[in-house]
Amino acid sequence: MKVIIHGGFFSESATNQKTKKAKQAALNAVVAEAFEYLQHHTALETVIYAVSLLEDNDLFNAGLGSQIQSDGKVRLSASLMDGKSQKFSGVINIENVKNPIQISGQLIAYDDRVLSGDGALHFARQHGHEYFDPITSERQEEFEMKRNQQERKGTVGCVALDGDGNIAAGTSTGGKGFEIPCRVSDSATVAGNFANKFAGISCTGVGEDIVNAALAAKIVTRVSDGISLADACKKSFEELKRFDGFAGVIGISYTGDIFHMDSHPYMVWASNDGEIRVFD
């Protein structure tokens, strides 16, 4: 049983040691809780649990504390994929909810599994998700000051391998900040989140670059064709260089290999296969 999570990117030069240590501590705590949860739950359930914990932490750009779009609103996107059933579900640009990954988890039982905007919100309200304002005072201040866009690349995600050999992946984002309202990122697409019985991948970075590369689906397909997880990631990132793509990935393969990679440091991540490892 193994689990790996990420908390997007941050610029080492643009942050202080206090922020870095806070993210290390947060990821350490979440990956420890997720691994303990995995002992008695499926990979799919664990991914929802771990991503929910990340969405609830305002250190990360997903759920609480998400970036604000150019019209002053927060719109959240998240997706989930179960490698066992090969079902993908997600919500795109949903407003005023706390945990979009949990809504994705409920949608996986339906035929219509990816919803956007008002339809996604209506589904959420029907299924017990009450009004929640994810804007923090810090995000509001950032929006008003229109700070450097380059500090806003990021999402959260989790990939898990359970005791029965099943893999699941989940990804959630609050966007890049100040984007055109209702922009669609990679996070609720198979470019940014994909899993099958061979591997699972969750991405972070610039959504458009990840979509252009079909990154998550491409890596998983290569592992399915017999390439190792590490080699599949490395080959895909070589292709990303052709247009200077900005991305990071976390992944687990059916053989138990666990891997992370980024094109432009600094992706923050943590893993647990019985021993916790956190970015440094």
Instruction: Return the CATH number at 206.
Output: 3.60.20.30
Instruction: Name which of 23-27, 49-53, 250-254, 261-265 the model is least confident about.
Output: 261-265
Helix H or strand E segment including 108: none
Model confidence band, residue 12 (pLDDT cutoffs 50, 70, 90): low
Rg (CA), the chain: 17
| Res 154: pLDDT | 64
Q: How far apart are CA 96 and CA 99, in angstroms?
A: 10
Q: How many domains does the chain have?
A: 1
CA distances from 247 to 157, 183, 263, 265 (A): 13, 18, 6, 9
pTM: 0.90
Greatest Cα-to-Cα distance within the chain, rounded to the nearest angstrom:
49
In the predicted structure, residue 14 carries a pLDDT above the cut 60: no
pLDDT tens track for 98-127: 999 999 999 999 999 999 999 999 999 999
Catalytic residues: 155
**What's the domain range around 100?**
2-278
Is the pLDDT at 71 greater than 80? The verdict is: yes
Nearest Cα to Cα of residue 52 among 80, 25, 74, 28: 80
